[in-house]
Amino acid sequence: MAFLSPRSEILALALVFAGAAFGLAGCSGGVATSGSSGGMEETSGGGGNGGGEPAGDVDVPCESSEDCDASEHCHFSDYGCGLGETSGTCTKLPLECGHGGEPVCACDGQIEIEHCPELRRVDISANGACTPPDGTFACGFRFCETGTEYCERIDYPSWHPGLVTFVCRQLPASCNGSDTCACVEGIDSDCPETSCEMDSAGHARVLCVD
């Protein structure tokens, strides 16, 4: 899996979620789902924003994609699917899937190729809505490889309060395949401030505040 610095990661996300003003293109990658197979479904239902008109440059708050125009989805910057503290914003659909090719968890519990959930107006989930594939564990909306990677959560309070992202980092050989806080907490980081906590499955999650 690719390893990006916190600032590179947020720049990549910003490019993906930039407005797509020319409509919706097809998803270029396959879709791996938990419990279903086949291609993406394209949604053509109507949305909010005053009779179906696009939101333009105005940030329109939402609780679900039904509150948005048909060319948008309801995006939560904390990836809480509406269950967190951050309210959603109607966001233009991307033109195509992200280029990372990594599976991500969608708010409806399906696992798909990176950024494809938005193409069917479903946001990405960091709430543990999906069962991790074999040999992996949940790292927010991503999945890290058990025994070789650890999870890092990056917050950007000064740049964009409420915005978070998640990165899988290479586990040092000295950890002997065990991603505990005792092993990963002291790893060199680009983050000004870090801490560590263990998730319910016993994996360390390094918290980075940029």
Q: Where are the domains of the chain?
A: 20-131, 137-209
Of residues 128 and 179, the one with the higher pLDDT is 179
pLDDT at 85 over 80: no
For residue 136, what are the CA distances in angstroms to 132, 142, 182?
A: 6, 10, 20
CB 89 within 8 A of CB 62: yes
pLDDT in tens, 7-65: 444 444 444 344 333 333 333 333 333 333 333 333 333 334 333 334 445 689 999 99
- The stretch 64-69 carries a mean pLDDT of 94
Predicted confidence band at 159 (pLDDT cuts at 50, 70, 90)? low
* Res 209: pLDDT: 81
Confidence category of residue 98, pLDDT binned at 50, 70, 90: confident
* Percent of the chain whose pLDDT exceeds 90: 41
pLDDT in the model for residue 44: 32
Q: Which residues contact 25 (CB under 8 A, 6 or more apart)?
A: 95, 96
pLDDT of residue 27: 37
Tell me the pLDDT of the chain averaged across its residues.
74
- Say if residue 175's pLDDT is above 80: yes
What torsion, rounded to 10 degrees, do the Cα atoms 129, 179, 161, 59 define? -30
**Which of 173, 203, 170 minimizes the C-alpha distance to 189?**
170
Q: What is the secondary structure of 92-145 as a DSSP string?
A: EPPSS--SS--EEEBTTS-EEETT-GGGGT--B--SS-SPPPTTEEEETTEEEE
